[in-house]
Chain A
Amino acid sequence: MLYSVDKKGFYGDFGGAFIPEMLYANIEELKNKYLEIIDEPDFQAEMNHLLKDYVGRPSPLYYAKRLSQHFNARIYLKREDLNHTGAHKINNTIGQILLAQRLGKTRIIAETGAGQHGVATATVCALMGLECIVYMGEVDIARQAPNVSRMKMLGAKVVPATSGSKTLKDATNEAIRDWINNPTDTHYIIGSVVGPHPYPDMVARFQAVISEEMKWQLKEQTGSQDPDIIIACVGGGSNAAGAFYHYLDSEKVRLVAVEAAGLGVDSGESAATSVLGTKGIIHGSRTLLMQTEDGQIIEPYSISAGLDYPGIGPLHSHLIVSKRAEAISITDQEALDAAFLVTRLEGIIPALESAHAFAAMHYLKYRSEDVIVINLSGRGDKDLSTYIKILES
């Protein structure tokens, strides 16, 4: 089975570039140049330097002793929460900003849900001295206020997306429109493994550093580079793509993609795409998405702004449909409970998104000797107001 992208930009039946002609030249330029640019020694050197000295990589792989006792397994946490800006998102924005510079672009746009990708984009734009515009749903601006302030302090302009559900999907629509209107000077830094080819593959490559490090860290700590199970949350799916990347062809390593069930998969307020989704087109990609019979995209719901997306990246659709990955859906309440469990057992406050990955332990079938890596994609500072409400109730 082939899990990498094919020449036409598809993962099996999913992917491609379903874009209007207005974006053709931009996407074609990216498609023709991204691999060549990424492979340049000078690009690699600059990226690796920034990942090490600016982001703080490698991120630790930490054996979570008390959590392991609690679940009777051997649980390791990949600490992406310790990266500069507090999540895995910066791995991708470092790569893309270097790419944008080499393409001669001077203006950067991005979409953001939880604000983590927006902050990571605003950060690298400040670092490189480039203009930065971040589209963010009006609803998300309200529920992720600290990240909005961070982006503004970093010099980015935060533009509210006021159409549709006013969340990540709509912010992405607005960013695509901005790119249509500004095709020559602008690079669009997509934050997840979504969108038209080559974005899903490009973002996965920039996030692949997560599993690249996991291999030698696991070898050091357990004697084997292969864990039994890797668990990661999936909105669009970039942290999961990075955590799975170097294990895609190691079929005995189980890959678990954790989606947001919101108020429950059957509640009508959910973002569990692999259960509720069917094949369709969203943001230029053929993938699984939540839609009506008439092909209208359904507005998703999750307490977690980063998982509140009606589709998943085409790689994940392919992995789930081909049964290479297992999907588990976790409700808001289960994620909140897991966030408090991890905090009290390990002294780590996880992002609400990552809390979904921890909650999946309750549903997962495993043996006590299994080595399980949970990708701790981000820290929970941005979710404190949500957590504090629970503490006070």
Chain B
Amino acid sequence: MNRIDQLFQYKKEGVLNIYFTAGFPALDDTTKIILALDKAGVDIIEIGMPYSDPMADGPTIQESGSKALKNGMTLNVLFDQLKNIRTKTQVPLLFMGYLNQMMQFGVDRFLNSCQQVGIDGLIIPDLPVDIYEEELKDKIENSGLHVIFLITPQTSESRIRKIDDLAKGFIYMVSSASITGAKSDISKSQLDYFKMVDTLQLKNPRLIGFGISNHDTFFQACQYAHGAIIGSAFIRHLETAENGVEDAVDTFVRSLRGNH
């Protein structure tokens, strides 16, 4: 069974998904960060594949990606770094990146490599639902990977239901009309949107992302979904780390979970 599905079988609330950019701050931090996040009790880890033109991302993630690329990160390097990761952790691992990266690496080769290192799912924001259905669904399902789809406050109910039918693993609820990292509070209209989706009784679990940055916003989001996703705030925390990435991960996750 896919590790994401295993997780949601026993954990229905407060699921914490953390994003980081592979190869940032240093090229060989990738596995250190994964293992530290796992140790700190993070439920799902999203590994960003750095991209030159990340259309859906804000400045924090774009800059971390540019640094990672300068550090020498490539998909070949990333797969090499991850080749023994499954001997050390069983935490669900996702790749987040853009369709062009997968296309140029070669879709089959990419899926095989993901399978070999033990990746559980993919988040590809610029992969349209119809292209997925027509060109990639069979291949990706055969590889055992889940494609995580996004919904936003602009997504109609009928489209949410269509996406729910196609989706595996969980649905990524974008908290507001925004790129990643854009906002710091959760507004009334966002709460209304969370509540509305909560009443739809979708078959997939839901995680809320974009603009979730701290203890308060994390727990607010968790009231209306199975959990939440944090990216930019973690990247910013890593940037200021003085005692190594392991320590930075520990302090960040602790501050998030707080007393709960």
Q: What is the interface of chain A, defined by CB distance below 8 A to chain B?
A: 8, 16-22, 24-26, 163-164, 169, 173, 176-177, 180-184, 278-284, 291-297
Contact = CB atoms under 8 A, between A and B. Distances in A.
Contacts, number: 111
14 contacts: A16-B128, A18-B126, A21-B151, A22-B178, A163-B62, A164-B66, A173-B53, A181-B177, A280-B104, A283-B53, A293-B104, A295-B51, A295-B103, A296-B52
B202 interface: no
Q: Chain B interface residue count: which class? A: 35 or more
B128 A18 contact: yes
Nearest to B159: A24
Contacts of B128: 16-19, 24
B127 A18 contact: yes
Contacts of B177: 22, 180-184
A83 B103 CA distance: 41
A169 B69 CA distance: 18
B100 A21 contact: no
Given A163-B59, A164-B53, A181-B182, A281 B103 contact: yes
Interface of B: 51-53, 55-56, 58-59, 62-63, 66, 69, 74-76, 98-105, 125-128, 130-131, 149-152, 154-156, 159, 174, 177-179, 182
Given A17-B128, A20-B150, A177-B179, A294 B101 contact: yes
Contact of B154 (A22, A278, A296): A22
A182 B174 CA distance: 14
Contacts of A281: 98-100, 103, 126
A295 B100 contact: yes
A169 B53 contact: yes
A226 to B, nearest CB: 38
Given A25-B155, A291-B100, A291-B104, A181 B178 contact: yes
A296 B56 contact: no
Contacts of B52: 164, 296-297
B152 A21 contact: yes
A17 B55 CA distance: 13
B131 A24 contact: no
A16 B131 contact: yes
A214 B52 CA distance: 41
B150 A18 contact: no
A294 B152 contact: no
A176 B55 contact: yes
A25 B53 CA distance: 22
A297 B55 CA distance: 12
B54 to A, nearest CB: 8
Contacts of B56: 20, 22, 180
A184 B177 CA distance: 9
Given A18-B127, A296-B69, A177 B151 contact: no
